[in-house]
């Protein structure tokens, strides 16, 4: 019996005034997406309508999620609305799961128009947690259409949907649907979450060398924490099945809707499983991933912590260990402004360009698309290269394992040798979270007035036996070398005459959770005899200056930061 075509329904709605996507898409409390009538539908319609109608008709899009609560329900709505809006084919990860790097990889591989990723990154999951929707464009990278999405959302009066369309996310393969008034059937393909991404990694790394390193007579014992996010299937399939790591090397590999009740944030505060395991001394390498798999943390034996700013610099100095870079060469490096200048020293030694960008991966994407950049990183535990257009946690772990296998050194030995050769950039970040947005705004405005005053340049600060002289201070702005566009107000920075730096940045964390002010401190030390000092001791005087000139504790009522990285 022939089934009748599925009807396309137009539903009347009213616009929301808070659907402006940020750097990482639209993030809100899950209850907002789940509980506010049409909130999800309005945003998906705005996203789809922001794509030119001619490009949209019959095109292919990728859909994936980090497995957090409400993802399955949201994917069903996305499928129904994509069909109604003329999308020809959706490629969706098995059970709705795809890591952010895998989405970027698949978009590029199948030449899709873009991809929708349901994630709030390292933010908590569950009904009381956070939810997010991010759109990546055809290069596999961050959306440049945020303004268009927001403009559509402000005047939206209706959305199109096929409410009777149902798909089975657990069934691999193709499903086809005939729709009313559509000439071609709408196709959904449920694909293996790992396979395409695994093939890409095989073409970048020497899997044989890594496997013998993990399984040989002097095998490296590793401990990997997937933090109950999307990375579980990737870790099991790639590190255990493909590269031979014992199954018990990987923990928390079952994706859970609430990530086991903890924030899926790969840092020393939340990735306690890997931190505790590494302190025991039984493992030579430890790593943890965030919910969607783009961020990572590396630990060495006895819990030796690798600062993310050092991590990207060490990768840059050891690219000759990676077949991909031996084959394609190295074009240049890039880092976000807040990231330490350790990468700059490597770039200088290798006589390569170094680009300092605002926070946000799309600036790196522009540099990569124009052939200017091969490797990039941010201090917030994200590193990547031009194999995709996203930061990539598992790629970063395989970079480290490749370097260790090639150099036959431990994590700590590699880091210390790097410091001995290039000097050490002591670096830390203070996060003040959940601040009153008005108080945060005025604090930053007043601080900018202080550092912009001509008298501030050449000002001297005496802290204990340290004397710091200001060399320059500004509000960072970026002129994109590719398209000439200018981005202003990207963070206040103060550079002292010994190259020490202080950086102040404010961001809204999304979801109505207040503002965040981050203070970054950095100090360079050439002398290897002074490379083993406690970071907070070295940077204490700089932090004291930061607290004094910003009056952050007095103005916010806080006694200290929520998180120190």
Q: Do 92 and 191 touch, CB atoms closer than 8 A?
A: yes
**Is residue 121 annotated as a catalytic residue, yes or no?**
yes
Distance CA 341, CA 343 (A): 5
How many other β-carbons are positioned within 10 Å of the β-carbon of residue 74? 23
- Dihedral angle sign, alpha carbons of residues 239, 241, 245, 246: positive
Distance CA 361, CA 24 (A): 9
Question: Tokens in use for 235?
Answer: 């870790």
410-417: long-range pairs with CB below 8 Å, 24+: 410/284, 410/300, 410/301, 411/284, 411/285, 411/298, 411/299, 411/300, 411/301, 411/304, 411/306, 412/300, 412/301, 412/304, 414/314, 414/318, 415/300, 415/304, 415/306, 415/310, 415/314, 416/531
The residues facing 332 across adjacent strands are 353
Q: Do 372 and 354 touch, CB atoms closer than 8 A?
A: no
543-546: long-range pairs with CB below 8 Å, 24+: 543/428, 543/430, 543/519, 544/463, 545/461, 545/463, 545/468, 545/502, 546/430, 546/502, 546/504, 546/519, 546/521
Q: 101-135: b or e for each residue (b if 16 or more CB lie within 10 Å)?
A: bbbbbbbbbeebbbbbbbbbbbbbbbeebbbbbbb
Q: What angle do CA 247, 253, 256 make, to 5 degrees?
A: 160
Q: Which of 50, 71, 99, 121 is catalytic?
A: 121
Distances (CA, A) of 512 to 26, 37, 464, 505, 507: 11, 18, 40, 18, 12
| Residues annotated as part of the active site | 121
């Amino acid at each position: 019996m022939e089934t009748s075509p599925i009807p396309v329904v137009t539903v009347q709605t009213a616009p929301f005034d808070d659907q402006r996507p940020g750097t990482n898409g639209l993030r809100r409390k899950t209850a907002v997406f789940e509980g506010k009538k049409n909130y999800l539908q309005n945003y998906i319609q705005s996203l789809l309508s922001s794509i030119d109608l001619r490009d949209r008709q019959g095109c292919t899009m990728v859909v994936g999620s980090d497995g957090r609560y409400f993802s399955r329900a949201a994917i069903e709505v996305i499928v129904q609305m994509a069909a109604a809006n003329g999308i020809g084919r959706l490629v969706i990860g098995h059970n709705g799961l795809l890591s952010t790097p895998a989405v970027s990889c698949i978009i590029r591989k199948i030449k899709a128009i873009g991809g929708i990723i349901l994630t709030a990154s390292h933010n908590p999951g569950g009904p009381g947690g956070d939810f997010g929707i991010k759109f990546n464009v055809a290069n596999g990278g961050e959306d440049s259409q945020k303004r268009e999405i927001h403009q559509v959302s402000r005047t939206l009066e209706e959305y199109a949907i096929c409410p009777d369309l149902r798909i089975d996310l657990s069934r691999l393969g193709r499903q086809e649907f005939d729709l009313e008034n559509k000439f071609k059937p709408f196709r959904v393909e449920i694909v293996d979450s790992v396979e395409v991404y695994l093939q890409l990694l095989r073409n970048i790394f020497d899997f044989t060398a890594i496997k013998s390193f993990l399984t040989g007579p002097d095998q490296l014992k590793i401990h990997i924490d997937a933090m109950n996010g999307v990375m579980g299937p990737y870790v099991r399939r790639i590190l255990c099945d493909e590269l031979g790591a014992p199954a018990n090397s990987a923990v928390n590999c079952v994706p859970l809707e609430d990530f086991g009740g903890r924030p899926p944030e790969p840092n020393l505060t939340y990735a306690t499983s890997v931190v505790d395991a590494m302190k025991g001394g039984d493992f030579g390498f430890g790593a943890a991933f965030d919910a969607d798999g783009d961020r990572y943390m590396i630990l060495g034996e006895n819990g030796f912590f690798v600062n993310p700013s050092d991590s990207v610099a060490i990768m840059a100095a050891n690219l000759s260990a990676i077949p991909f870079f031996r084959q394609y060469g190295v074009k240049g490096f890039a880092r976000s402004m807040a990231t330490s200048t350790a990468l700059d020293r490597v770039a200088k030694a290798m006589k390569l360009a170094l680009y300092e960008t605002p926070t946000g991966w799309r600036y790196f994407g522009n540099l990569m698309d124009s052939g200017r950049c091969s490797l990039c990183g941010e201090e917030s535990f994200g590193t990547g290269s031009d194999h995709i257009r996203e930061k990539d946690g598992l790629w970063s772990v395989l970079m480290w394992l490749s370097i260790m296998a090639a150099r036959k050194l431990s994590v700590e030995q590699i880091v210390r040798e790097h410091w001995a050769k290039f000097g050490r950039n002591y670096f830390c970040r203070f996060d003040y979270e959940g601040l009153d947005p008005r108080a945060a705004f005025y604090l930053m405005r007043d601080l900018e007035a202080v550092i912009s005053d001509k008298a501030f340049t050449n000002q001297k600060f005496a802290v204990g036996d340290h004397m710091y002289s200001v060399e320059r201070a500004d509000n960072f702005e970026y002129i994109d070398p590719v398209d000439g566009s200018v981005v202003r107000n990207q963070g206040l920075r103060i550079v002292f005459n010994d190259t020490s730096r202080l950086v102040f940045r404010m961001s809204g964390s999304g979801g109505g959770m207040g503002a965040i002010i981050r203070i970054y401190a950095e100090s360079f030390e050439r002398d290897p005899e002074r490379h083993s000092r406690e970071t907070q001791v070295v940077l204490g005087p700089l932090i004291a200056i930061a607290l004094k000139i910003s009056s952050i504790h007095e103005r916010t009522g806080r006694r200290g930061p929520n998180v120190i990285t």
